[in-house]
Structure 1
Amino acid sequence: MIGLEKMKARSGEVSQSARALLREDMHRLNDYCMNATCMPEERRWGVVRYAAYLFAWLMLLQIEEVVTLEFSSVEIIPGERAYVEIRLKTRKSAQTGVLHTWRLWANDADPRLCPVRALIRIACLYGSRVPLRGPLFLRIGKFGDILLDQPVSTSILSRALTSDLQGLAYSSWALYGTHSFRRHGCQHRIRNCNFDVSMVAAWGGWSQVEALTMFRYFYSPNDNHEHMVEYDRNDKKRAKF
């Protein structure tokens, strides 16, 4: 694998997901996907794909795991409006079953990052036409129809993300990929949610051995390097010359 990476680097190929999708990027994606000026069928597709983006970002999921979420993965406790619980059936590191449950809280302070609102939009979109079983994220047809037998795939989400970033005029869109959600999901938990590294490992479902690879997500030379000159800034104790 190392030899393959070196060969790709020599050929000038840039690896995908080398840059994290920050909280501000998620805000932009939300606004782009929910754009009220879009055609109705495009906005309906925006509801589905942004919900998938958000769950990958909040839960530190690989995109292959996001598309396996089903209606049965979501547990809504009757009368409980503050949070929902999400459970995966299997994942790469737990082929026989995932014991971990994610409790995702409603986010009134930042509605664009609110998982409860994302699920409400999905429910309103599907209505009574979609039976509450099977895949959670379904494809939307070119006329805005819900394709009950066609769940969203990893390749579809990957192409959609590229298209969205290009639509947002990201000149560095090639540095992003679906793993960019997982990358900054880790950083977000450290920077904004007061998680320590062990909490991030538990939240993301990494074992002690696998947690070593988690550190790749905490740093990339492509993430925030333009802000490096500010790292040692301290206005209160700045020396006066």
Structure 2
Amino acid sequence: MHPGSFKGNPSLSVTVSQYMVSLRRRKVRQGEVVTSARAIDEETIKVLYYFNNGYPPPDGLDGLTSRKRKAEHPEDWAGYTIRMMLQVLYITSMLCLLRYDEALGISWSDVFFERAEDGSWHRLRLELPVRKTHQNGGISPFYLYPNKERPWMCPIRAWATWWTIVRVASGNTIPQGYVFRKKMGTDKFSILPGDAMSSDSFLECFRSNLLDVRIDPRPYGTHSFRRGGCQYLAITLRWPLRDICSWAGWAENFDNPGTLFKYLLSWNDAPRVQREDYFNPKRAAEKRCSVCGRSCHCA
């Protein structure tokens, strides 16, 4: 790099990210109002799902890329394998209202696939040993079910794909260790059970993935999936706030209910409805519910 010239995308720099986090903390200490990270919405997950699944599976190459090719083709930062791992992390963090650093600590011993009587995968049970708000355990399990109506929001489909990939990579043995592994090269991951993906590495991958679909990654941060999950449960699935708190594990010691509303409302989020359309009689209907068939906004 020469004086007055720049190379690369500064939004993907770990150093820049650490500086901005530190700057934000100093501003908060001085009394500045905190701006929440933008929530990941269902439409963004859908776009990422189809983009990532559009990559062809690996063809036996070693997944390594030369520095020259990396410089000439920054869009080839990851292949099918890494993208499938990221997709599992996206949907798990969103549906279970996890910060992505909490999701990165999940091990295969925390994951249980439960089958129906016909042998098909009925649901997935996730038992986390530790969370930020539960340092000594006592975390209720998360039960995730198939979602045929929204394949981009189906945890069983995502977990089944990743489980198969990890099992083949480990010699058809039962996967052990961390679920989300350290990225090696372009499309390989570490086969060492204790070699987990770091938060910095995930953040870089996540931002690169957003750039793939032409979304500015700068507003997104550690709480984007948790905030997006809250809004998905409250707005799309219409869960009562009491159920959201209970599902997230906030029911017992959620002593600051204002925090929940910070997850649900923020000026930093993309507006769902334009102001002129709130009472517009010709406003487009919502997506039709597969159960009751209603598509009106009062459903």
Does TM, scored on the shorter chain, surpass 0.5? Answer: yes
**CA separation of 1:216/1:69 partners in 2, compared to 1, >3 Å: closer, same or farther?**
same
Give ranges in structure 1 of 5+ residues lacking alignment: 237-241
**Which whole-Å CA distance do the structure 2 matches of 1:148 and 1:230 have between them?**
54
Q: Aligned Cα RMSD in Å?
A: 2.7
Aligned equivalent of 1:30, options 21, 42, 49: 49
Does the 8 A contact of 1:33 with 1:47 survive in 2?
A: yes
Larger Rg over CA atoms: 2
Aligned to 2:260, what secondary structure does the other structure show? helix
1:21 match: 40
Instruction: List aligned pairs for 1:116-155, cutoff 5 A.
Output: 116-130=156-170, 131-142=174-185, 144-149=187-192, 150-155=195-200
Q: CA deviation at 1:159?
A: 1.0
2:229 match: 185
Does the 8 A contact of 1:44 with 1:144 survive in 2?
A: yes
Is 1:199 equivalent to 2:243 in the alignment?
yes
Does the 8 A contact of 2:114 with 2:122 survive in 1?
A: no
**CA separation of 1:5/1:77 partners in 2, compared to 1, >3 Å: closer, same or farther?**
same
Identity %: 24
Q: When the two structures are aligned, how many residues end up with a matched partner?
A: 231
Q: CA deviation at 1:189?
A: 0.3
Is 1:233 equivalent to 2:256 in the alignment?
no
1:4 match: 27
**Which whole-Å CA distance do the structure 2 matches of 1:127 and 1:75 have between them?**
15
Q: CA deviation at 1:168?
A: 1.4
Aligned to 1:174, what secondary structure does the other structure show? coil
- 1:128-156 CA deviation, whole Å, 9 max, x = no partner? 44342210111342264331232112111
**Which whole-Å CA distance do the structure 2 matches of 1:18 and 1:59 have between them?**
18
Aligned to 1:117, what secondary structure does the other structure show? helix
Does the 8 A contact of 1:201 with 1:211 survive in 2?
A: no
Aligned to 2:204, what secondary structure does the other structure show? helix
Give ranges in structure 2 of 5+ residues lacking alignment: 1-23, 64-78, 283-299
**CA separation of 1:144/1:160 partners in 2, compared to 1, >3 Å: closer, same or farther?**
closer
1:108 match: 148
Instruction: List aligned pairs for 1:75-86, cutoff 5 A.
Output: 75-78=112-115, 79=119, 81-86=121-126
Aligned to 1:151, what secondary structure does the other structure show? coil
Does the 8 A contact of 1:91 with 1:98 survive in 2?
A: no
TM-score normalized by structure 2? 0.69
**Which whole-Å CA distance do the structure 2 matches of 1:145 and 1:43 have between them?**
10
Is 1:209 equivalent to 2:255 in the alignment?
yes
Instruction: Pick which of 38-47 and 193-202 moved more.
Output: 38-47
- 1:84-128 CA deviation, whole Å, 9 max, x = no partner? 111110111111113311110101111111110111111221124
Q: Which amino acid aligns with 2:28?
A: E
- 1:39-59 CA deviation, whole Å, 9 max, x = no partner? 764111101111111110111
Q: CA deviation at 1:215?
A: 1.3
2:295 match: none
**CA separation of 1:221/1:143 partners in 2, compared to 1, >3 Å: closer, same or farther?**
closer
Q: Which amino acid aligns with 2:167?
A: G
Q: CA deviation at 1:231?
A: 5.6
**CA separation of 1:36/1:118 partners in 2, compared to 1, >3 Å: closer, same or farther?**
same
Q: CA deviation at 1:185?
A: 0.4
**Which whole-Å CA distance do the structure 2 matches of 1:173 and 1:68 have between them?**
23
Q: Which amino acid aligns with 2:214?
A: A
Q: Which amino acid aligns with 2:125?
A: E
Q: CA deviation at 1:191?
A: 1.0
